[in-house]
Amino acid sequence: MKKWMYAIIVSAITLAGCGETGNKDNDTSQEVAPVAIEAVLDIPEKADPGQEVALAVTVTQVEEFVDDANEVKFEIWKEGQKEASEMVVAEHSEKGKYIANYKFPEDGVFSVQSHVTARDMHTMPTKTIQIGHLEEEHHEHKEDSDDHGHSHHGDVSINLDMPDHVQANKQTDLVVHLEKDEQPLSNAAVRLEIFQQGANPAWVDTAEGAKGEYKTEYQFPASGEYTVRIHVENDEGLHEHTEVKVTVH
């Protein structure tokens, strides 16, 4: 009798353990990776100083409009002056669109970067806008930028990582990898000069993530052939650049 009782108890414990394992397996199988949000930035290519300009970004997730974003802001700065950037809060309008009005104070090329936080995710595409007339020095820089009169400090490897298929008006992740003497190069200032033949360039700043890895997002405004010129500088006097050709569909 005792042997039978012992066998029943052991069987019950074994079945209970199997049941728990089965539930855990089922829970794991039901886990689904979050689907990324997408933000499409919409700003005009040109405007005049003092003119009220509508800055808009449309946020979607799996082709559905995101009307419940936690925060949407536009960061605005003049070319080469990101440390003096200004933040403008956007308000939801309709169908996932968030809008803010802004008056650019002076002539120049300005970057507009939308910071979208929604559903535990963050994305920040960037575009540029020309305000008024460009300064002469801006044109001169574009014309002289092919002059390789920069100092070279050792072997610096510059590589741009981006998707194989790039679409116009869609946020594109751009990642620059830097190495010097076969080691990741940190604490550099990395800027991207993006342009089509005969057009004014857009200047995009990057932020260092992992060591030697500099990231940003950019929306190419139209299809066609683009040049991405990567400028690298640091406090030790390093100043290098390289170019990558990009086809946008």
- Which of 134, 158, 184 is where one domain is finished? 134
Same domain, 87 and 156: no
Same domain, 130 and 151: no
Q: How far apart are alpha carbons 172 and 108 in whole angstroms?
A: 25
Note the pLDDT tens digit of each residue in 70-114: 999 999 998 878 888 899 999 999 999 999 999 999 998 888 988
In a domain, 187, yes or no: yes
Note the pLDDT tens digit of each residue in 14-55: 545 555 555 545 555 456 667 888 888 899 988 999 999 999
Same domain, 57 and 83: yes
Q: Which amino acid is at 247?
A: T
In this structure, how many other beta carbons lie within 10 angstroms of the beta carbon of residue 19? 10
Residues of the domain holding 166: 147-248
* Residue 125, SS3 per DSSP: coil
Give me the number of domains the chain comprises.
2
Same domain, 98 and 154: no
Same domain, 88 and 160: no
In a domain, 14, yes or no: no
Same domain, 50 and 71: yes
- CATH code of the domain in which 207 resides: 2.60.40.2410
Contact of 84 with 77, CB cutoff 8 Å: yes
For residues 192-212, give the mean pLDDT. Answer: 86
Note the pLDDT tens digit of each residue in 111-169: 898 899 998 888 888 888 889 987 544 444 444 434 333 334 457 889 999 998 999 88
